[in-house]
Amino acid sequence: MSIVLVLLFFVLLLMGIPISLVLGIMTVLYFLTVGEMTLLDSTPQQFFSSLENYGLLAIPLFMLAGELMNSGGITSRLVRFAKVIIGHLRGGLAYVSIIANMFLASILGSANAQIAVMSKTLVPEMEKEGYDRSYSTALTMSSSIIAPMLPPSMIFIIYGSLSGTSIGALFMAGIAPGILFAIGFIVLTAVMGYLYNFPKSERATGKEIVKSAYAVLPALSIPFIIIFGILSGWFTPTESAGIGCLLAFLIGKFFYRELKFKNLSNVFINTALSTSTITFLIAMAGAFGWMIAFEQIPQTIADGMLSISENPLIFLLMVNLMLIVLGTVLEGIAALVILVPVFMPLIGIYDIDPIHFGIIISINLTIGLLTPPVGTGLFIASSIARVKFERLIISIIPFLIMSIILLFVITYWEDLVLFLPRMLGY
């Protein structure tokens, strides 16, 4: 690939052109430049082949489940329950943001979706209580990256589909890292709460706690049934997405009675728009990855890494550093589709468990949501919460540092990640 094309790639990104279009444009331009018209004719077929995977069917289904839960009042009850339980602590609403994101992670499975939902619902509440708006937005956005670590996780579904790794095993492997990130953010919030004297809400009465717990039980049953069903073998992760949609509809319509038939058209439209955005990106990234394979870039990278060190610990360090840098300019799903074929042969050489590696690469690329200049999470939160982009970047720094520290803990503590999958027989 010529230097001109590489420079053009970054220029297009800096111009703000969507990454999916950039990947498609660069693929076509490359084949035109090198004169490979036969490969150019096959590019449309490559777009289709990138999506021809049964595991990807879970993406629109989980998107639909999330939309049904938002429209059915399930999301708001989860946030309310977290506030009733821990809202009275100093910095209580900050803890609510973290805990509520853990609840929602088991429903939405997408960090971007959670950033949008929580920025709209919780940031205004925190500002009313006396929190700085930029801090509230940074906390909400950072806590949202817990979503891809807990089942059902969109990025695990894509990694499993690309690598042939068990999606169920990835779901289970992400639970401990998700909890670890939540603990890390809670500790950071406690320290900042002490330093900046965060406000606290009034303690809820026993009656309010019981009432909120009763209201949230049907919502909490959804992730429980999904995880139990996968572990018991009743249904696959993809089938569990369909079960989640059915439960979300029944609970929102007949238990909470907030889901109206007239609103279903908006639910389906939002699902279609979100799904088409992701699948279009996967298609473009798949073709781009095909072009990279033609250029033998994976072999070049593999030879380069092996020439530096044959130690798997050094290899993982290099991978993390590379992904942290790439995460600043590449969207996570696009990077995943491009890089998985590059790294899969290498993890066999370095004898690294593909489940553990999947968790590492997925978390690393999810952290990219927080990093400028292309961090999509920054743009979503800044737009919805109406916070200046520059202020948000400054506020996100402590959470970004904590995230990178926890990433390296997960990278070099393999048993933390693999304990649960091994115990369950994966």
| Domain total in the chain | 2
Residue 424 has pLDDT above 70, yes or no: yes
Clarify whether residues 36 and 58 are in a common domain: no
Q: How far apart are CA 237 and CA 49, in angstroms?
A: 21
Clarify whether residues 31 and 161 are in a common domain: no
Range(s) of the domain holding residue 249: 53-423
Give residue-wise pLDDT tens across range 217-265.
Answer: 887 777 777 777 776 778 776 777 788 788 888 888 888 888 888 888 8
Clarify whether residues 31 and 72 are in a common domain: no
Clarify whether residues 65 and 45 are in a common domain: no
Give residue-wise pLDDT tens across range 166-211.
Answer: 888 898 899 899 999 989 998 998 888 877 777 766 777 777 778 8
Q: How far apart are CA 201 and CA 234, in angstroms?
A: 43
Residue 54 has pLDDT above 70, yes or no: no
The answer for residues whose C-beta is within 8 angstroms of residue 365's C-beta and 6 or more apart is: 155, 323, 326, 327, 332, 333, 335, 336
Clarify whether residues 112 and 76 are in a common domain: yes
Residue 390, phi then psi, degrees to nearest 5: -65, -40
Clarify whether residues 27 and 125 are in a common domain: no
Clarify whether residues 24 and 141 are in a common domain: no
Shortest CA distance to 289 belongs to which of 233, 341, 243? 341
C-beta atoms surrounding 328 within 10 Å: 13
The predicted structure's pLDDT at residue 401: 92
Cβ burial 48-76 (10 Å sphere, 16+ → b, else e): eebeeeebbbbbbbbbbbbbbbbbbbbbb
**Residue pair 31/291 in contact by the 8 Å Cβ criterion:** yes
Say which residue, 389 or 108, is predicted with more confidence: 389
Clarify whether residues 65 and 34 are in a common domain: no
Q: How far apart are CA 206 and CA 217, in angstroms?
A: 17
Clarify whether residues 323 and 398 are in a common domain: yes
Clarify whether residues 38 and 60 are in a common domain: no
What is residue 293's three-state secondary structure? helix
The predicted structure's pLDDT at residue 1: 56
Distances from the Cα of 97 to the Cα of 143, 178, 200, 242, 331, angstroms: 7, 14, 13, 28, 24
pTM assigned to the model: 0.77
Give residue-wise pLDDT tens across range 83-92.
Answer: 777 766 777 7
Clarify whether residues 354 and 228 are in a common domain: yes
Clarify whether residues 34 and 61 are in a common domain: no
Give residue-wise pLDDT tens across range 357-406.
Answer: 999 998 888 888 787 766 667 777 777 777 887 788 888 899 999 999 99
